[in-house]
Structure 1
Amino acid sequence: MSEKTTGMRKGLAGYGDAGFSLFLRKAFIKAMGYSDDALDRPIIGITNTFSGYNACHRNVPDMIEAIKRGVMLAGGLPIEFPVISMHEAFSHPTSMYLRNLMAMDVEEMVRAQPMDAVVLIGGCDKTVPALLMGAASAKVPAILTVTGPMITGSHKGERLGACTDCRRLWGQHRAGNIDEAEIEEISGKLAPGPGTCMVMGTASTMALVSEAMGMMLPGGAAIPAVHADRMRHAEATGARAVSLAADRILPEQIMTPASLRNAMRVLQAVGGSTNAVVHLAAIAGRLGFDLNLEELDALGAETPVLVDLKPSGQHYMEDLFRAGGLVTVLREIDTMIDRDCLTVTGRTLGQEIDAQPQSWPQDAVRTVADPIHSGGGIRLLRGNLAPQGAIIKQAAATPELLRHTGRAVVFSSLADMAERLDDPALDVRADDVLVLQNAGPKGAPGMPEAGYIPIPKKLAAAGVKDMVRISDARMSGTAFGAIVLHVSPEAAVGGPLGLVRDGDVIALDVEAGTLSLQVDDAELQARRAQWSAPDHVNVSRGYAKLYFDEVLQAEDGCDFNFLRANPRNLGQ
């Protein structure tokens, strides 16, 4: 790259006089106290994702200082800038609804402001994919780091972690086994410090698959947020960003079909969140190719779940850190991954694996010969109820429910479910199939993590722990159960899920990969003739209009069509 398009000369404002544009830019940046010597160095942007609403990112200010130190030690000039920050519990209607807005913010701010490389600070669930989506589209050298997982809490001697234990204990509260006073006490112990959920939720999963893709320095995914190594990793990330700027290694050279295949392999091996499937599909779409769901399924069939973390196992992320982090997993599946993929270090994934300290005895990562679960964590389902696919996290499901036929109990919306689920008069049995409609990308909107449909209170009180549940929604990676998700097309665009009625028979066979609605075609056609889209999709202004006009289905990552490298031809 020529000198004229680097540093302060990059992307000059359009005044019709390039010399004046540079003069004006320098005049205002000098108001920040920079010297000419500083301004002549490579500029490394740093995304400031701190927010008072985002506990997962509480340590971002400290990380920024460490990143700046690394940049300056390597001879660069660090400049932080704000981008949208989202926390899962503080985003209405959902964080997924806003993920694409954050990705657009990242893309435009990275492109608009002069920087030779950018350090992306992710953490809470949707921030990592939003950052990678934006960076993939901006085409500026980029390197990711994350805030890291929380340490665990304790209640009456029991080790606790957000948010698998949040859901487990809330379920006990719903069943009447934990009273109001105790559940309130527990709420102060589930998240005892900064960082992301310390189970194999979406944040942990996205950190691990991002490291596997090569977008993060080795070892970074599992370091706890409060650990000194987290700051040392941040410093090293800043230093490496300066080299990335010099070498002009772009995200598209690292995030390739082969590296995303590695990410899918790791997703299966760690028993990762189903949300990662949506996010990896969105990242792939930004890079110009599609995530192959059949390949994901095939990889799962041959990749055992090795990481003994909740919700599929018993441990927490700090245990994975003590076990050596991702490299311990990669060594177990070494023959199953593409070792030749480039990483942000400038070396291959295989070279980085070989350079890490040798593994040691530990109990967080099982061997291939002794897995937590064989046959993959996530399975693809297809059938007349999900023509474009659905998925189930079989590693976190009750095995007896993975092949099940039952009567549908249908909720037409989130509001309908909230109103009727716990009604003592609800006609529901333990062997029924709970069906939630209109909770997908357009239906909710924002494809909320509502797929974890609670067990109806009267069944929970009777000791029922799991049921087959089906929806076009997502599920938190921290959740568990026989839960079918991402049914596509969703109900709100006319998918077959929206045609299900109370009493219909649904058959699930995870081993066969099928999800079937046992209703004849003539009856479904009659129901389709009566179907209409929900009123809320008719929006005339703002981000909501952009969202409803452009959002795609789960298999395309719920990205906006116009943001894909190759937009879909939707026949409009």
Structure 2
Amino acid sequence: MDEQDAQGFARGLTNYGDKDFSVYLRNSFAASMGYSREVLKKPIVGIANSFSGFNNCHRHFPELLEAVKRGVLLGGGLPIEFPTISLGEVFLSPTSLKFRNLMAMDTEEMIRAQPMDAVVLMGGCDKTVPAQLMGAASADLPAVQLVAGPMMTSRYGEERLGACTDCRRFWGKYRAGEVSAEQIDDIEGRLATTSGTCAVMGTASTMACIAETLGMSLPGTAAIPAVHADRLRAAEASGRAAAQMIGSPIRPSQIITEKSVENALRVLLALGGSTNAIIHLTAIAGRLGIKISLDRLNALSDDTPVLVNLKPVGAHYMEDFFFAGGVGAVLRELRPLLHLDTISVTGETLGDRLEQDPGYIDRRVIATAEAPLEPQGGLVALFGNLAPRGAILKRSAADKTLFEKEGRAVVFSSLEDLAARVDDPDLDITADDIMVLQNAGPKSASGMPEAGYLPIPKKLSAQGVKDMIRISDARMSGTAFGTIILHVAPEASTGGPLALVRNGDRIRLSVSGKRIELLVDEDELARRRSEWSSPLVPPEQRRGYDRLYASEVLQADEGCDFAFLQPIAES
């Protein structure tokens, strides 16, 4: 058998210059793990397990892993678990996005280097799913994405709580003096009480829905709560599907196509999903040479309605979305707008899937296309002299009274500057001003954190101010809300126009015109540009992964992937 056609432990042999010896040595070491000769002949399904004690979302992965293994065995394969790094969102400094590409590299190389015929990707917490999909797309081995599933909600008095939209809501009340220190301590212990990802349509849930829409996850599995028995059944089915793909391989490059990416964008817009998903989907698609245009995003957004009534855009939680019909119900409402000939890991087309009985749909949670929550999509890209390559606004979670507004800039030069001055009683700021944060983009020292949700200054929040326009080259959590303009590209630390904004400048926002303009004449901007110097520490003065990151990370409109991880152009 030719080595490229080999399966199981005979695949991808370690090279000692003697192929037969390589097989002999590998089998002998495999035998030390208790495998019988019969088992050593089976095809292998690798299981990329991102369990970690630093990742609360993945606490239930040991139990989930056993269900995946059971499914692989039922499908006729040999399950072999292997670890990769894990990205627990709130436990990483300076931010989890900085390490997404490292996890993607880890995933890709371990899939490629180890002997496996297919792989199940176990992820969930925000950046783990995009990292795994990026790695799987580049390795292009048959792969099934299994997500952690969302947390169940908790209670505080008569209110339901689900990290982390409610944590931001109550923290805002605490800053405004509406909630006491004793109350906020009580709420802190109630926000996240089960395993799983945030209970709202944050980044993790958005990426789970995107993975299902792309076809990389089994139909109907994105929204199953982490602690529900169906999540274990989904794990078993995912393992079995991966084993069955070995005989008739379906590769990520056949599933993630221009058409399926456009379907995913439609669903993202209909969900009122996380702004982070634009960066992640751009990076995933980019691994296969598929470009995502922000102009195309706007065209799709103009005729894609918001259908899902979940926090932070609406009122409900992911467990409600699951029982309401999940991703399948959304896809059926969007059907006239979708490419129905895309395929999933099952080999089934999207059109075939949507012919099946949808079951019960709760219209309080998932609206019809004829009576949507909003007539246009949840996200919009803005362009102008402040963001020549674009910026993103989650308009479905913003205050529409601020959509057409001109205001005075109040500038913070860094996160440190923001922390030092935002609550200063002498800060010169009013509710009509526009807060601007600089030097928080992908190449900055902060690594593009979820800091775009700038806190309302205490003196304004105490006056009842709930929202104001905020602009930055940072990101924000998918669980956040407000009139917040993010991902400004190019970023300030590389000399983008955002770096040239000064206190008192006038800025004009027009959501209807999809514009964000700095109202300063070109001569003055040229003068400021001549005086500007980069705050970045040069890559050659760094070490390790930090040096690699600084040298290779791309801008937000390119998905913040590494330049050297893009496909090699054919000559």
TM bucket (normalised to shorter chain) is: over 0.9
Q: Secondary structure at the match of 2:287?
A: helix
Shift of 1:320: 0.6
Residue 456, structure 1, aligned to residue 457, structure 2: yes
Q: Which deviations, in whole Å up to 9, do the C-alpha atoms of 1:178-226 show, x marking residues without a partner?
A: 1222111111111110000010100000000110010000111000000
8 Å CA contact retained: 2:325, 2:362: no
Give the drift of 1:261.
0.2
The answer to whether the 8 Å contact 2:7/2:42 transfers is no
Q: Tell me the distance in 2 between the aligned counterparts of 1:194 and 1:474.
A: 25
Distance 1:514 1:204 in 2: 29
Q: Does 1:219 align with 2:220?
A: yes
Q: Could you tell me how far apart the structure 2 residues matched to 1:179 and 1:207 are?
A: 36
Q: Is the 8 A contact 1:328 1:359 kept in 2?
A: no
Q: What residue is the counterpart of 1:549 in the other structure?
A: 551
Change (3 A) 1:415 1:339: same
CA–CA distance in 1 between the matches of 2:290 and 2:223? Answer: 29
Measured at CA, do residues 100 and 439 of structure 1 come closer, stay the same or move farther in structure 2, by a change above 3 Å? same
- Identify the residue that residue 177 of structure 1 maps to in structure 2: 178
Instruction: Note the 1:173-572 alignment, pairs <5 A.
Output: 173-538=174-539, 539-566=541-568
Q: Distance in 2 between the 1:356 and 1:206 partners?
A: 25
Q: TM-score, normalised by structure 1?
A: 0.98
Structure 1 unmatched runs, 5+:
none
**Is contact 2:149–2:222 with CA below 8 Å preserved after alignment?**
yes
Q: Aligned to 1:245, what secondary structure does the other structure show?
A: coil
Give SS of 1:536's match: coil
Which portions of structure 1, spanning 4 or more consecutive aligned residues, are displaced by more than 4 angstroms?
1-4
Offset, 1:362: 3.8
- Give, in whole Å, the separation in 1 of the partners of 2:361 and 2:174: 40
Per the alignment, in what secondary structure is the counterpart of residue 343 of structure 2?
coil
* Superposition pairs of residues 94-113 of structure 1, within 5 angstroms: 94-113=95-114
Deviates more, 1:165-174 or 1:558-567: 558-567
Q: Secondary structure in 1 aligned to 2:549? A: helix
Q: For 1:274 and 1:567, how far apart are their aligned partners in 2? A: 29
2:132 counterpart residue number: 131
Contact 2:444 2:536 in 1 (8 A): no
The 8 Å contact of residues 50 and 84 in structure 2, kept in 1 or not, is answered as: yes
Q: Is the 8 A contact 1:74 1:242 kept in 2?
A: yes
Q: Work out the CA distance in 2 between the residues paired with 1:135 and 1:446.
A: 24
State the SS of the aligned residue for 1:355.
Answer: coil
Give 3-state SS (helix, strand or coil) of 1:232's partner: helix
SS in 2 for 1:198: coil
In terms of mean alpha carbon deviation, does 173-182 or 61-70 score higher? 173-182
Q: Please, which moves more after superposition, 438-447 or 98-107?
A: 438-447
> How big is the shift at 1:368?
1.4
CA contact (8 A) 1:327 1:356 kept: no
1:403 deviates by 1.1
* Structure-2 separation of matches of 1:560 and 1:131: 15
- 1:289 is displaced (CA, Å) by 1.9
Q: Output the CA distance in 2 between the equivalents of 1:566 and 1:513.
A: 34
Q: CA deviation at 1:492?
A: 0.6
What is aligned with 1:70? 71
- Where 2:208 maps in the other structure, the secondary structure is helix
User: C-alpha offsets along residues 417-450 of structure 1, whole Å, 9 cap, x if unaligned?
Assistant: 0000000010000000000000000114321000
Counterpart Cα distance in 2 of 1:143 and 1:333? 24
The separation in 2 between residues aligned to 1:40 and 1:353, in whole angstroms, is: 39
Check conservation: 2:493, 2:536, Cα contact below 8 A.
no
> Do 2:387 and 2:516's aligned partners in 1 also have CA atoms closer than 8 Å?
yes
Deviation at 1:361, TM superposition (A): 4.3
Q: What's the RMSD between the two structures over aligned residues?
A: 1.3
Partner amino acid, structure 1, of 2:197: T
CA contact (8 A) 2:67 2:233 kept: yes
1:233 match: secondary structure: helix
Aligned to 2:42: 41
Q: Report how far residue 2 of structure 1 moved.
A: 5.0
